[in-house]
Amino acid sequence: MNVADVPALLDDDAAPSNRIVILGAGYGGLRCAQALSKYLGDPGAPEVTLVDRNSYHQIITQLPETASGRLSTDEVVVPYSELLKQTRVRFIQAEARQLDLGRRRVVTTRGALSYSTLVIALGSTTAYYGVPGLAEHALTLKSVEDAEDVSRTVTEAIKAAATKTDPLARSRLLSILIGGAGLTGVELAGELAEVLPAIAREHGVAPAEARVTLIEAAPTALPSMPERLQAKAAAILSELGIRLVLGSKVVRVDSEGVDLASGDRLVGSTLIWTGGIMAPPLLSEAGLPTVPNGHVLVDNYLQPEAHPNLYVIGDSARLAELENDEILPPTAQVALKQAEAAAYNIVATWEGWQRRPYTPSDKGQVVSLGAERGVASVFHVPLVGKKVIALKAIIAESYRFSVTGRLGARR
Structural domain range at position 77 = 3-124+279-360
Do residue 162 and residue 264 come from a single domain?
yes
Q: Would you say residue 9 has pLDDT above 60?
A: no
Q: Would you say residue 11 has pLDDT above 70?
A: no
Handedness of CA 73, 74, 79, 84 (dihedral sign): negative
Contact 67, 151 (CB under 8 A): yes
Burial class (CB in 10 A: 0-12, 13-18, 19+), 86: exposed
Q: Is 392 part of a structural domain of the chain?
A: no
- Domain holding 222: CATH number? 3.50.50.60
Quote the pTM value.
0.92
Q: Would you say residue 7 has pLDDT above 80?
A: no
Do residue 120 and residue 142 come from a single domain?
no
d(Cα 374, Cα 386) in Å, to the nearest integer? 7
Mean pLDDT, rounded, for 175-203: 97
**Residue 85 vs residues 81, 222, 403, 405, 407: alpha-carbon distances, Å:** 6, 39, 12, 12, 17
Do residue 271 and residue 283 come from a single domain?
no
Q: Is 336 part of a structural domain of the chain?
A: yes
166 confidence band (pLDDT: 50, 70, 90) = very high
Mean pLDDT, rounded, for 107-113: 94
- Domain holding 16: CATH number? 3.50.50.100
Give me the percent of the chain exceeding a pLDDT of 90.
83
Do residue 117 and residue 83 come from a single domain?
yes
Q: What is the pLDDT of residue 16?
A: 62
Do residue 48 and residue 178 come from a single domain?
no
* Residue closest to 175 by CA, chosen among 212, 150, 138, 215: 212
Do residue 143 and residue 48 come from a single domain?
no
Identify the three-state secondary structure at position 362: coil
Out of 242, 258, 276, a domain closes at 276
Q: What is the pLDDT of residue 404?
A: 87
Q: Is 386 part of a structural domain of the chain?
A: no
Out of 315, 338, 360, a domain closes at 360
* Residue closest to 89 by CA, chosen among 43, 52, 34, 42: 34
Do residue 265 and residue 284 come from a single domain?
no
Do residue 233 and residue 325 come from a single domain?
no
Q: Would you say residue 5 has pLDDT above 50?
A: no
Do residue 154 and residue 244 come from a single domain?
yes
What is the tally of structural domains in the chain? 2
Mean pLDDT, rounded, for 182-200: 96
Higher-confidence residue: 7 or 364?
Answer: 364
Contact 282, 97 (CB under 8 A): yes
Contact 215, 180 (CB under 8 A): yes
Give me the percent of the chain exceeding a pLDDT of 70.
93
Q: Is 404 part of a structural domain of the chain?
A: no
Tens-digit pLDDT profile for residues 249-268: 999 999 999 999 999 999 99
Angle at which helices 183-202 and 227-239 pack, to 10 degrees? 10
Instruction: Show contacts of 394-403: CB within 8 Å, 24+ apart.
Output: 395/366, 396/59, 396/61, 396/62, 399/59, 399/332, 400/59, 400/78, 403/30, 403/31, 403/34, 403/57, 403/78, 403/83
1 confidence band (pLDDT: 50, 70, 90) = very low
Do residue 164 and residue 259 come from a single domain?
yes
Higher-confidence residue: 249 or 87?
Answer: 249
Q: What is the pLDDT of residue 45?
A: 84
362 confidence band (pLDDT: 50, 70, 90) = confident
Sheet holding 265-267, edge to edge: 250-254, 257-260, 265-267
* Residue closest to 150 by CA, chosen among 53, 224, 71: 71
Tens-digit pLDDT profile for residues 368-408: 999 999 999 998 899 999 999 999 999 999 999 999 887 66
Q: Would you say residue 77 has pLDDT above 90?
A: yes
Do residue 272 and residue 294 come from a single domain?
no
Alpha helices in 252-330 (DSSP H): 282-285
Average pLDDT, the chain: 91
Tens-digit pLDDT profile for residues 15-57: 566 899 999 999 999 999 999 998 887 777 889 999 999 999 9
Q: What is the pLDDT of residue 327?
A: 75
Question: Which stretch of 5-14, 92-101, 311-320, 359-368 has the lowest confidence by average pLDDT?
Answer: 5-14
Q: Give the H or E element holding residue 214.
A: strand 211-216
Do residue 58 and residue 192 come from a single domain?
no
Q: Would you say residue 302 has pLDDT above 80?
A: yes
* Residue closest to 82 by CA, chosen among 25, 43, 139: 25
* Residue closest to 211 by CA, chosen among 183, 251, 178: 178
Q: Would you say residue 314 has pLDDT above 90?
A: yes
* Residue closest to 300 by CA, chosen among 316, 321, 331, 283: 321
Q: Would you say residue 282 has pLDDT above 60?
A: yes
